[in-house]
Amino acid sequence: MSEHTSIHGQWSSRLMFILAAAGSAVGLGNIWKFPYIAGENGGGAFVLFYLLCIALVGIPIMIAEVMLGRKGRQSPINTMRSLARSENGSPLWALLGWAGVAAGFLILSYYSVIAGWALAYVARSVAGVFNGATADGVQSIFTDLVQDPERLLAWHSLFMVMCMLVVARGVRHGLERAVRILMPALLALLVVLVVYAFFEGAFSTGLAFLFQPDFEKLFFRCETIGGVRQCDFTGDPMIVAMGHAFFTLSLGMGAIMVYGSYMPKSSSIGGSVMTIAILDTLVALLAGMAIFPLVFANGLAPGVGPGLIFQTLPIAFGSMPGGQLFGSLFFILLVFAAWTSAISLIEPAVAWLVENRQIGRARAAIMVGVTVWFIGLGTVFSFNIWSGEAYQLFGKTVFDLLDYLTSNIMLPLGGLFIALFAGWVMQQPSSAAELAMKPWVYGVWRVLIRYVAPLLVIAVFLNRIEVF
Ligand code: PFF
């Protein structure tokens, strides 16, 4: 195999890599997940810690993933194996690739169900169901949907078919065109929503919730029961914030590594990664700024959970001028954002199947897609027939467990090992040559990847374990 390109193809330019990786990063995580976990974890301090994790852990690890991918030029499993060999590391590093494939399957299994909600909301917005809807009306539209396993299954299936189609067509044809137009459109629409929230929502309350840190909330969960305030120590907000930094940047499982393997040799890795991370963070913050003013203006609770955007944004679309059009466009763009992320979740597995089993992309995409569809049934049922306590473990449904396990444990662990490999196993001249950064930038990256990122991940893990 040539050292300079991947057998799976290559992005046509550096811009295409940025768009594709941003397509992977920007998705349900930014628009659906970030607002509801910020709501559940108390807002400001959580958001600040999340931003800190993006800067000190996410960005250096993303640089490491792209670098490893571009140097290895194969699926993450084979890249890790061959880099471990050339850098005199243990062949066991290939396990990191395998863990990533497993995480990708598990994440996509529930990601697809939520993307199915977004698809269902496209149909509802186009049909004008939200016109003039009140907070209660919107709430019951949401409940009706998630309590119906057949409908959820149908939308989940449709989304999985969409993913298999694009992955089957391959890197260039499947992806590049979609991202170029959709990403800017999504940003523009989010800005429209923030402007609406500014005029019609409780903007200053929303912003204060999102940006005014109350550090107690990082460590304690307080409730007022019978007039008495009770606080319990919790390690959750920090681990959820850190887990989300990995999730939102698509890190720790090989998605960015595999996209890096299709990157032209001459492009700058550091600059591309900064652009992607800034764009991703901007989208999440804009989503939060659109949603929380509406939450407070309508007397809703910020901590309602995964239904948050589906229970708030339709209220805005129901009353704003042109709401039917904006609402339809918004959910269509949300589906596209989810789509471009979902395909990156299975690309590592598909690339490996093509390399090692000598089968075509189409067959590989179908094999992976069907398996993921099947695992997704657990999430479909989590909101209805399996929502009861009899089907829960540690008070969590299958969906909650999958989300917790993947975002908060598997991705940060994967990221930790990627940092250790890039910082400690890989020889300095190899990483310096591949990154080709200004010496001081490389120096900063090296300190972050060797010390800061691993120690922060370990500290957050230990903090959580102590609480158990
Ligand atoms: N980054 C995506 C999002 O924020 O929606 C989700 C994701 C994609 C996570 C790819 C992990 C991944 F490998």
**Where residue 318 falls among pLDDT bands split at 50, 70, 90?**
very high
For residue 68 the two structure tokens come to 């490893």
* 29 CA from centroid of ligand 1 (Å): 7
Whether residue 316 has pLDDT greater than 90? no
Q: Do the Cβ atoms of 138 and 314 come closer than 8 Å?
A: yes
Closest ligand 1 atom to residue 249 Cα is: 1
| Dist. CA 279–CA 60, nearest whole Å | 16
Instruction: Give pLDDT tens digits for 44-100.
Output: 999 999 999 999 999 999 999 999 999 999 999 999 999 999 999 999 999 999 999
| CB contact at 8 A, 27 and 216 | no
19 lines ligand 1 (CB under 6 A): no
CA dist 276 and 261 (Å) reads 16
Q: Is 223 helix (H, G, I), strand (E, B) or coil?
A: strand
- The finding on whether 261 has its CB within 6 A of some atom of ligand 1 is no
Q: Would the pLDDT of 101 be above 90?
A: yes
Strand intervals (E) in 361-402: none
Rounded-to-integer distance, Cα 266 and Cα 252, Å? 25
Furthest-apart CA atoms within the chain: distance in Å: 70
Scan for tokens 């396993």, then name that residue.
149
Instruction: Answer whether CATH 3.40.50 is correct for domain 14-464.
Output: no
Q: Which pLDDT does position 151 carry in this prediction?
A: 97
Q: Is 287 close to ligand 1, i.e. is its CB under 6 Å away?
A: no
**Can you say how many angstroms the Cα of residue 247 is from the centroid of all Cα atoms in its chain?**
4
| Dihedral sign of CA atoms 338, 454, 77, 105 in order | negative
Does residue 414 have its Cβ closer than 6 Å to ligand 1?
A: no
As given in the structure block, the two tokens for residue 23 are: 């397509």
25 CB under 6 A from ligand 1? yes
Spatial distance between the Cα atoms of 254 and 260, rounded to a whole number of angstroms = 9
Atom of ligand 1 nearest to the CA of 104: 13
Q: Is the CB of 283 under 6 A from ligand 1?
A: no
The pLDDT value given to residue 178 = 66
Closest ligand 1 atom, CA of 100? 13
Per-residue pLDDT tens digits for 142-171: 999 999 999 999 999 999 999 999 888 876
Residue 24 in contact with ligand 1 by CB distance below 6 A: yes
pLDDT at 461 over 80: yes
* pLDDT over 70 at 4, yes or no: no
- Please give the mean pLDDT across all residues of the chain: 92
How many angstroms is it from 118 CA to the middle of ligand 1? Answer: 16
Confirm or reject: Cβ of 31 under 6 Å from ligand 1.
Answer: no
Region 321-349 average pLDDT: 91
State the distance from the centre of ligand 1 to the C-alpha of 119, rounded, in angstroms: 18
The number of beta carbons lying within 10 Å of the beta carbon of residue 366 is: 17
What number of residues does the chain have? 468
250 CB-near residues (< 8 Å, 6+ apart): 21, 24, 25, 256, 341, 344
- Tens of pLDDT along 119-143? 999 999 999 999 999 989 999 999 9
CA of 223 to the centre of ligand 1 (A): 32
- Structure-token match 């393997």, residue found: 261
Spatial CB neighbours of 135, under 8 Å, sequence gap ≥ 6? 298, 299, 300, 311, 315
Ligand 1 near 27 CB (within 6 A) = yes
CB 28 within 8 A of CB 334: yes
The predicted model gives 296-305 an average pLDDT of 90
DSSP-based three-state secondary structure for 166: helix
Kindly state the helix (H) or strand (E) to which residue 375 belongs, with its residue range: helix 361-382
Q: Which residues contact 61 (CB under 8 A, 6 or more apart)?
A: 246, 251, 252, 415, 418, 419, 449, 453
* Three-state secondary structure call for residue 110: helix
Q: How far is the CA of 370 from the centre of ligand 1 (A)?
A: 20
The residue type at 326: F
Centroid of ligand 1 to alpha carbon of 112 (angstroms): 12
Whether 182 has a pLDDT exceeding 90, the answer reads no
Mutation probe of ligand 1 site: the residue of 30, 65, 107 with most atoms within 8 A of C-beta: 107
Give yes or no for residue 336 CB within 6 A of ligand 1: no
pLDDT at 3 over 90: no
Cβ atoms of 101 and 352 within 8 Å: the answer is yes
pLDDT at 2 over 50: no
